[in-house]
Amino acid sequence: MFRRGLLYLSESHGAKQLLTGTPLTRTMSLRFVPGEGVDDLVGAVRKANAQGLKVTANYLGEAVTNRQQAQAAADTYLEVLDRVHREGLDASVSLKFTQMGQDIDEAFLRENLGRVLQRADDTGTFVRFDMEGSAYVQRTLDAFEALWRDGWRNIGVVLQAYLKRTPGDVARMNQLGARVRLCKGAYREPPEVAFQDMGRIRKEFVALMRVLLQEGSRPAIATHDDRLVEATVRHVRREGIDPTSFEFQMLYGVRRDLQKRLVEQGFTVRVYVPFGEKWYPYLMRRLAERPENVAFMVESMVKESPLGFLFGGAGTGSGGARPESRGAPPGSGRRGSGSGSGRSQSGSGGGDSGWGSHG
Ligand SMILES: Cc1cc2nc3c(=O)[nH]c(=O)nc-3n(C[C@H](O)[C@H](O)[C@H](O)COP(=O)(O)OP(=O)(O)OC[C@H]3O[C@@H](n4cnc5c(N)ncnc54)[C@H](O)[C@@H]3O)c2cc1C
């Protein structure tokens, strides 16, 4: 119920107006989104790299139906690629086809994307295409294969364990030699296309993880689920798989303890760092995934209040510094991003940032 409320807030324009104006929401958002600008992203990448974590950078946004916006998103990626290269940082990028113009037309998508892929190639950077709702899966894989046929090799896809079609897609990507990120899948999908039961989804995930580790090309295992991480580590050790032949991936601000532990054990961990003006729905979805985070939000509110000193807070109202709270807080210097398209994806309500909710 509470979770549904948070998901509702993620899509409500009114709630967004109200909540993004409060310093508290901005402080909370810093846990999951380092900021709105490329400087904020670069600061987070530097810090992650210093901790032994690789990064994949995501400029928040999807479902773009306006050419200028899609071109602006591509321009932002060009800036990211240049900065990462110039500063010698270890970061790839993750982007969504619908952010680059997939819903406008395929020719425009290819042209817009081509600019990013060329710059990524010039700077030796890898580009991952996030996977969106099931209505986009075939189109995304077709577009991916077209790019592969054109000779691009610095690209990879995401496949979602909850989709019933995924074993076939994994086999196809392995056959191509394409790099796959495996995740559970984040959209609310109907039972005709996706498993609904978490036990079953985990079972599928483990089976796909094994195939990818055995036959895939540098796969990424993207999960914060202890059971799945443990199953992967056990499998790798049992089969004597080279730990550098794959990587774990996790979201910025989520299970930092686990990220650290895996790095200490010699595994490669890549953190998905989102940034940009469209942080609000992304934040609300992260809160919905783990409602305990709201308790942190309330605790911060108390500590930041004028009486905060009674509870051990600074009471300055300046935004209780979390370990990675740095740079301009999201919400400051907003460029009037609007509320998103309201596009509905497989009943998830869509939204304009991050992934939908997994029901
Ligand atoms: C790097 C990366 C890329 C992804 N790319 C895609 C994509 O392209 N398309 C797509 O559909 N989905 C994507 N996802 C999302 C994915 O499909 C899942 O929805 C998401 O990862 C949650 O599943 P989980 O396996 O982490 O397990 P969960 O069961 O959700 O989480 C396991 C544990 O992690 C911790 N945790 C989870 N969320 C939070 C949180 N917000 N705050 C604090 N702790 C938390 C909790 O301890 C929880 O018990 C991606 C996920 C990652 C990590």
Establish whether 130 is a catalytic residue.
yes
Report the residue among 193, 254, 279 best suited for mutation to probe ligand 1: largest number of ligand atoms under 8 A from its CB.
254
In this structure, what are the phi and psi dihedrals at residue 160, rounded to the nearest 5 degrees?
Answer: -105, 120
Q: Please calculate the CA angle 175-177-182 and round it to the nearest 5 degrees.
A: 90
pLDDT at 334: 28
CA–CA dist 305, 316 (Å, integer): 7
CB neighbour list of residue 298: distance below 8 Å, 6 or more residues apart:
none
- Ligand 1 in contact with 225 (CB < 6 A)? yes
CA–CA dist 254, 26 (Å, integer): 17
Tokens for 325? 């709270």
Decide: helix, strand or coil at residue 151. Answer: coil
Catalogue all structural domains in the chain, each as residue range(s) with its CATH number: 37-275 (3.20.20.220)
- Ligand 1 in contact with 286 (CB < 6 A)? yes
Tens-level pLDDT at each residue, the chain (359 residues)? 566 666 666 666 666 666 666 666 677 778 889 999 999 999 999 999 999 999 999 999 888 888 999 999 999 999 999 999 999 999 999 999 999 998 888 889 999 999 999 999 999 999 999 999 999 999 999 999 999 999 999 999 999 999 999 999 999 999 999 999 999 998 889 999 999 999 999 999 999 999 999 999 999 999 999 999 999 999 999 999 999 999 999 999 889 999 999 999 999 999 999 999 888 878 877 777 776 766 655 555 555 455 444 444 333 333 322 322 222 333 333 222 333 322 333 333 333 334 543 32
With CA atoms as reference, report the closest residue to 221 among 240, 192, 241: 241
How remote is the CA of residue 341 from the centroid of ligand 1, in Å?
A: 24
How remote is the CA of residue 224 from the centroid of ligand 1, in Å?
A: 6
CA distances from 140 to 100, 159, 173, 221 (A): 12, 11, 13, 20
* Burial of 124 (C-beta count, 10 Å sphere; 0-12/13-18/19+): exposed
Question: Max CA-CA distance within the chain?
Answer: 64
With CA atoms as reference, report the closest residue to 211 among 164, 167, 260, 244: 167
3-state helix, strand, coil in the chain (%, to 5): 50, 10, 40
Is 29 within 8 Å of 330 (Cβ atoms)? yes
With CA atoms as reference, report the closest residue to 123 among 57, 172, 188, 61: 57
Decide: helix, strand or coil at residue 129. Answer: strand
How remote is the CA of residue 309 from the centroid of ligand 1, in Å?
A: 35
**Could you say which DSSP state residue 93 is in?**
E
Is 208 within 8 Å of 164 (Cβ atoms)? no
* Burial of 359 (C-beta count, 10 Å sphere; 0-12/13-18/19+): middle
- Ligand 1 in contact with 337 (CB < 6 A)? no
Q: Residue type for 159, please?
A: L
